[in-house]
A and B are shown apart, each in its own frame.
Chain A
Amino acid sequence: SYVLTQPPSLSVAPGKTARITCGGNNIGGKSVHWYQQKPGQAPVLVVYEDSDRPSGIPERFSGSNSGNTATLTISRVEAGDEADYYCQVWDIITDHVFGTGTKVTVL
């Protein structure tokens, strides 16, 4: 089955840049989506199809995807960005797969 690996946690100071990685075999050949989930809330789509942003998502959120790693970048991090972040792809064998999740802490 297809597996997506994320770092369990990441700490970043306000105003700095957070880069959250999502590793998978030849993930560069797939379409990657990213979700933000705050405690007690449902996930929210923040980046789709590698690098597009839904309406209402700040430009501070951006994505890239190449080789075996996809990356969600949060620029000028704010306290409100503290959340769990999940990557997700569709695989022809496994169907929809979510990454293991990364907890982002704003210092």
Chain B
Amino acid sequence: ETGVTQTPRHLVMGMTNKKSLKCEQHLGHNAMYWYKQSAKKPLELMFVYSLEERVENNSVPSRFSPECPNSSHLFLHLHTLQPEDSALYLCASSQGLNEKLFFGSGTQLSVL
């Protein structure tokens, strides 16, 4: 285990649904990240939090809304997604910003 736990592992949702992805890290790290992984494309950084403050938002559509209530938990709230949003969503943490990342196993999201 990497010390980063993501739930759920799989999620199927309709375009009008609202759902949330959850990430928890047990490593005492100060930074947490959301990445999107699509087939045959590099990992895309979505959001970065450092000490619970958002430090980066890479032009992600507003239908994705992150939340970091404390340094151990990170959420990604999903609302009115599109089929092209179907992907593996990975959470990661690191001791400091842009240090080596520890990833969770991801949530495989399918938008119908």
Q: Is this pair of chains taken from one and the same complex?
A: no
- Give the interface of A toward B (CB within 8 A): none
